[in-house]
Chain A
Amino acid sequence: MKSYYDRPLLKGPHWGANVVTYLFLGGIMGGLGLISLLSDDRPEPAMKKLRKATRYTAFALAAINPPILISHLGRPERFLNMLRIVKFKSPMSLGVWGLVLYSGAAGANALRELADDGIVPSALRYVAPSATVPIQALLGAFMAGYTGVLISATAIPLWGTGKRHIPAFSVCSGAASASALATLLSTLQGNHEVIPRLERLEMAASALEIVTIADFRKRGGRATAPLFEGRVGKRLRDYTILGGIVVPFVLNAVGGAVRLPKSIDALRSIAASMLTLIGGYVLRESLIEAGKLSANDPQAAFRQPS
């Protein structure tokens, strides 16, 4: 096969743990927007508790995610350069604006809950219209999806080959991780009533996720090898596919089918949630790491995926 001394044709990403974390949390923020919408305006106290937990958490994540992104820019004040323009052709630009708007909606929803809890004057409830709930859910879907589009709309062969799959499983992984996080929080709060529902949502998201990943692998050929083979492939298989999807799915299914003693059931659900979260992080990490390997393979870059 022809090449130029096997030298890489493309330049790989200069992204490390901070960008991985940013993408991972972006996915969770998306999922939390959905759960906040699903639990909105329900009379049951358990749902109310869940609603508050997701809104406070979403707002907290919206507050810590920008600093994480900024930490990778070297000189933090340069983040402001992103706010000079809105560029529809750049997922990086759209995503930053999505994050800003999401933070606004999440802030409004958190504020309403604070007013509801009597932590801030209850009149402040009216500052934030309830329309911000579906708005946060919509922006959340965008947040979770754009983290996939951001990487698939690049020249890296692995990522480009996944132009449909990567955005789709990013959304699923975000929803599964958000359900897992909400399950953890509910367990801590002793809000056991909502857990079966959260676990069912998590199972649905994980199922869709694993089907999409499997399809990606099947269609990929040479371009997807860096993600599914070698060191990265092993990590993805152990931590995401088995540890992060299959095992939690089984644990959740057992929890749904069998009545376990309370303490054992709590352990089961905590384990399933933690594994799902770890799997979600490793998925993003593997995508970035495999992207670096993919950039080094000139054969995959001579004819680029359409």
Chain B
Amino acid sequence: MATGFFTDATLCIGCKACEVACKQWNELPSDGFEFTGNSYDNTSQLSGTTWRHVDFVERESFDESGLKTSWSMVSDVCKHCTNAGCLEACPTGAIVRNEFGSVFVQPDICNGCGYCVVSCPFGVIDLIEAVGRGDDAKKYGLATLHDDRLNDRKTAVQATGGVAGKCSLCFDRQRVGMVPACAKACPTESIQFGEIEELHERAKRRVETLQERGVEARLYGADDIGGGIGALNAFFLLTESPEAYNLPVEPVLPSTRQTMGYAAAAAAALTLATIGWAIFRGDS
């Protein structure tokens, strides 16, 4: 039975409890502080060390009563795609689909080649740079960790040459029957965790309710999203178009381009071989 997330933009209050709970449970280091000025979003993006990221879509409009500001927040996460670009690209087999149907990176097998990073159509997975001592430790706010603690880390953050990092859908928690940390921490049930089919039911009911109330609501990724990717195990209810939340409208599974690529390469090679044969051996 596959499990996943249903994240509902109409319930999110932008508290970022999910971001914090995820960082704590997964022992992910700080990314440093950057003040962006983009509404209340100073996290900016998902990364190798940020596995939940709350989007703040801020809109300003004028009417007779003056300036009006509206917000739509939603917590972004790895989509755990049915056909995952990262998983297909990984040359070491570090990225696997686990028994919960989630896409999981095994940090001890990943060799840091970075090919998954450019193969995710959603820009989710990223490399966590080597975390050691000295400057690295400072960058990630690890300077205060004891050495043995640093060495013992079982999470993606190891003293390695860099590994890929992204949401694991709390594989470790799920195995002992616990709910993922972000869903557990979410105070409004904007992040719901459960079996996919059940989440789909709930999401459809929610859209109906919202539409009855005149709210423009749409699901993102509950059904096949196209481009060969299929449905997303982590799907969303949005009130704006996907671009507003930095989500692709038409994502494409990169491996679908391979056949064409190899064919084009073969055609070029054959052409050159024929010309070469004429140049070198045409007289024999």
Assign chain B's interface to a size class: 35 or more
Q: What's the least CB distance linking A165 to chain B, in Å?
A: 7
Would you call A156 an interface residue if the criterion is a C-beta within 8 Å of the partner chain's C-beta atoms? yes
Contacting residue for A306 out of B110, B114, B227, B266, CB 8 A: B227
Would you call B212 an interface residue if the criterion is a C-beta within 8 Å of the partner chain's C-beta atoms? no
Q: Which of A105-113, A167-175, A263-271 contacts B (4 or more CB under 8 A)?
A: A167-175
A89 touches B112 (CB 8 A): no
CA distance A5 to B43 in the complex (A): 13
A90 touches B254 (CB 8 A): no
A7 touches B275 (CB 8 A): no
B93 touches A85 (CB 8 A): yes
B262 touches A145 (CB 8 A): yes
Would you call B92 an interface residue if the criterion is a C-beta within 8 Å of the partner chain's C-beta atoms? yes
Contacting residue for A4 out of B109, B244, B251, CB 8 A: B244
CA distance A185 to B122 in the complex (A): 47
Contacting residue for A145 out of B36, B94, B269, B271, CB 8 A: B269
Answer whether A4 and B243 are a contact pair too, CB < 8 Å, given A84-B109, A90-B88: yes
A92 to chain B: which residues have CB within 8 Å? 89-91, 113, 115
B269 touches A4 (CB 8 A): no
Total number of A residues with any Cβ neighbor in B under 8 Å: 81
A302 to chain B: which residues have CB within 8 Å? 242-243, 248-250
- Which residues 1-47 of A have a CB within 8 angstroms of B? 2-5, 7-15, 30, 34-35, 37-39, 42
Q: What's the least CB distance linking B79 to chain A, in Å?
A: 13
Q: What's the least CB distance linking B61 to chain A, in Å?
A: 15
Would you call A115 an interface residue if the criterion is a C-beta within 8 Å of the partner chain's C-beta atoms? no
CA distance A117 to B184 in the complex (A): 73
B257 touches A163 (CB 8 A): yes
B255 touches A89 (CB 8 A): yes
Closest residue of chain A to B92, judged by CB? Answer: A81
CA distance A38 to B280 in the complex (A): 6
A73 touches B113 (CB 8 A): yes
Q: What's the least CB distance linking B129 to chain A, in Å?
A: 9
Q: What's the least CB distance linking B232 to chain A, in Å?
A: 15
A79 touches B277 (CB 8 A): no
- Provide the B229-273 mask, 1 if CB < 8 A to any CB of A, else 0: 000000000000111111111111011111011111111110111
B264 to chain A: which residues have CB within 8 Å? 145, 148, 163-165, 167-168
A2 to chain B: which residues have CB within 8 Å? 241, 243-244
Q: What's the least CB distance linking B199 to chain A, in Å?
A: 25
Closest residue of chain A to B281, judged by CB? Answer: A38
B122 to chain A: which residues have CB within 8 Å? 9
B127 touches A14 (CB 8 A): yes
Closest residue of chain A to B39, judged by CB? Answer: A5
A155 touches B276 (CB 8 A): no
Contacting residue for B267 out of A142, A144, A168, A197, CB 8 A: A168
A304 touches B250 (CB 8 A): yes
Contacting residue for A204 out of B114, B125, B279, B284, CB 8 A: B279
Closest 8 CB pairs of A and B: A74-B161, A145-B265, A78-B111, A4-B246, A93-B91, A149-B261, A75-B161, A167-B265
A interface residues with partner B (beta carbon < 8 Å) = 2-5, 7-15, 30, 34-35, 37-39, 42, 72-75, 78-79, 81-82, 84-85, 87, 89-93, 96, 137, 141-142, 144-146, 148-156, 159-160, 163-172, 175, 197, 200-201, 204-205, 208, 212, 291, 295, 298, 301-306
B interface residues with partner A (beta carbon < 8 Å) = 36, 38, 41, 44-45, 55, 57, 85, 88-94, 109-115, 117-127, 130, 160-162, 227, 241-252, 254-258, 260-269, 271-273, 275-277, 279-281, 284
With A154-B115, A164-B261 known, 5 other A-B pairs at CB within 8 A are: A74-B162, A91-B261, A149-B258, A169-B268, A171-B268
